[in-house]
Chains A and B, each alone.
Chain A
Amino acid sequence: MTPAHELRAIAASIARHDYLRRSRGQREWLHFSVDGPGADIVVNLSLVDDPRRAVERTRLTLLAYADGRWEGDVEELDPDRLELRGGELFAAWGRNRVELRDGAFRIDAKLARRPVAVALTLRPRSYPSLATNARIGGGLINWLVVPHATASGSIAVGERVLSFASAPAYHDHNWGRFDGRDLAWQWGRSLAADPARPSSIVFARLCDPIETTVFTQVLMLWEGVRPSRVFRGAELRVEREGLLRPARVLVVPRVATAIAQGPTDVPRRLHIHANSDGDELHGVFEAEDVARIVVPNEHDLHATGIHEVVGCFRATGHVRGEPFELASRAVFEFVQRVA
């Protein structure tokens, strides 16, 4: 159980973060995911300032994986109905809200065209980790990650409503200036469901779109509220095994289905080995199912697919002589050109 003063300090450290930067030519997105009982939930709010068109495009992605199937969509938010407050986390449109208030992330969002709605309160349970100015191709990306939060609330998928309290949850905030053609990534996170031993991992690997150049790779481990170990660069070895080939992949936005329904190159298993200074960890992500978020390229008429993959992550190892073990639900992302 995290002491109250520690929770207040965590909330204060996140409140100091500069959300919704809305700078010219910048990309920015807020990602939340919840391992709810009976449903995996992914919420993403992205803002892209397009100076060529003098518009700021804001998109909401809401995905739920329940009963062995995905539901959800990506929706473009009407700028005339949208209130965004620069410097803080506040986005409101109609009855929908994504905000940071009183130390908690509050998400009330309902898709306009699909039967999915969430009412979530995510309370951070670990200090954020911040990586700034990571160079990717000709651009820079920044990343704030909160690997451990607890989520309470509900999700409605069709007629079914699932309510939960203290479900494992995750948040990150990404922003920067870079060309979409420069970047692909593999990313994943897993958090122990047992609140008495809240181990968690976050993995990120940024590379060029054909994965011949890895710009940076990192595996971060947390035990409790603080990071316990970070493995970087050559300390990590990553191996793909097999291919995940579901009979059908949900493609969002739906209008992209007919042009981006091809097979994925998502591995069935992703092995991550970390070894440095006497510490080591061996983990494997076992993929279960995938949904494809299609992001139109800006430089041509093709598109990039961000594959949200649910599954399980198992890891064993030791850090500073102490055993590290994790076996829990996980969400990974794999990016590839799709159309």
Chain B
Amino acid sequence: MTGPVGTLASEALACLMRECPRAHGAMRTAISDRRVRLEIGRDTFDLVAGAVAAPHGEASLLIRSDAATVSELVHGELDLVDALVTDRVHVRGDIDAVLAASTAMTAFLAGALRCDSMPALLQRLANMERT
């Protein structure tokens, strides 16, 4: 079981698969068979094969942040480099995994632009940061 951020991430990925499968496919291809662990506030979950999974075993990449930072990043209010240098986003993993995650993030955002249902999900993320 994951918390509210993991649930939202799961819904966002399902939305992507449903409304922009090409972007979802590009994201899956980039991540390949890696397991990416996300620690967002108190919520910890893994991304595996383009879906959210319960944390299990060792991950190829760890990304630690908080809901407010993730919301600011996806809404263009915060630059990723600024977030990294101010420790609002912490990343640990080998360089191939980091680059794969970056490509996957680009595919996700390119798909998010094309999904009718995504703005409402991103608004839920923005509301989450305020609560």
Contacts and interface: CB of A to CB of B under 8 A. Distances in A.
B90 interface: no
B110 A301 contact: yes
A296 B115 CA distance: 11
A259 B77 contact: no
A241 to B, nearest CB: 29
Contacts of A113: 119, 123, 126
Nearest to B118: A255
Nearest to A57: B116
Interface string A31-67: 0000000000000000000000001010000000000
A196 B17 CA distance: 58
B76 A257 contact: yes
Interface residues of A, number: 20
A255 B119 CA distance: 9
Interface in A228-253: 251, 253
Given A76-B116, A296-B114, A255 B22 contact: no
Contact of A253 (B26, B106, B113): B113
Nearest to B20: A301
B119 to A, nearest CB: 6
Interface in A283-302: 294, 296, 301-302
B76 A258 contact: yes
A258 B73 contact: yes
A76 B23 contact: no
A213 interface: no
Contacts of B26: 301
B63 to A, nearest CB: 14
B79 interface: yes
A301 B111 CA distance: 7
A301 B23 contact: yes
Chain A residues touching B, majority SS: mixed
B122 A255 contact: yes
B76 A76 contact: no
B111 to A, nearest CB: 7
B105 interface: yes
A251 B76 contact: yes
A261 interface: yes
Given A255-B112, A259-B110, A76 B119 contact: yes
B80 interface: yes
B107 A255 contact: no
Contacts of B109: 255-256, 258-259
B129 to A, nearest CB: 13
A76 B119 CA distance: 8
Contacts of B22: 301
Contacts of A339: 106, 110
Contact of B79 (A55, A259, A261, A302): A261
A253 B118 CA distance: 12
Nearest to B114: A296
Contacts of B111: 301
B74 interface: yes
A85 interface: no
Interface string B92-129: 00000000000001110111111010110011001000
A304 to B, nearest CB: 11
Interface of A: 55, 57, 75-76, 113, 251, 253-259, 261, 294, 296, 301-303, 339
Interface of B: 22-23, 26, 73-77, 79-80, 105-107, 109-114, 116, 118-119, 122-123, 126
5 contacts: A75-B119, A76-B119, A255-B76, A258-B105, A339-B106
Question: Which 7 A-B pairs give the minimum distances between C-beta atoms?
Answer: A257-B76, A254-B76, A254-B75, A301-B110, A296-B113, A259-B109, A296-B114
